[in-house]
Structure 1
Amino acid sequence: MSSSPEPPTLKKDSPKEKDFPNPGLRGNKPVMVFGLVTLSLCVAYIGYLHATQENKKDLYEAIDSEGRSYMRRKTSKWD
């Protein structure tokens, strides 16, 4: 049987910034800012749609005695 080759010795040096070809997350800051702005705008748009839908719930189309239709706010019988 043949003898197995010896494993290569590993360096115990700490990795330095110049050894890496790309900076990792530090290089993606523009992408992260773009994603954060986009996500914030999406949440704001959903909030806007929710707020406008809440306002539309209180209105309904009413018809007066002359046959004209108009938008009227819902009122409680207790008012």
Structure 2
Amino acid sequence: MEKKEVLITTPFITLGQLLKEESIIGTGGQAKWYLREHTIEVNDEPENRRGKKLYPKDTVNIPDEGLFIVRSRRED
């Protein structure tokens, strides 16, 4: 499984924003559909809310896409 870092400059990013930024979906409006059709895990727990807040050190496992690790650009 490929691991990818997602760098954020804000305190958090939503799951829907992560899907869009990583080009898994084309528009924010597709997030609800995508999460209904695919099993995604946030910190090893199933998650289907596009508004779920992701903070630095959270992990998002998306089958067939990879494991995404949220990191803050402000971390040293």
Q: What is the TM-score normalised by the length of structure 2? A: 0.15
Larger Rg: 1
Higher strand share: 2
Tell me the TM-score normalized by structure 1. 0.14
Report which of the two has the higher share of helix.
1
Highest relative contact order (Cα 8 Å, sep 6+), 1 or 2? 2
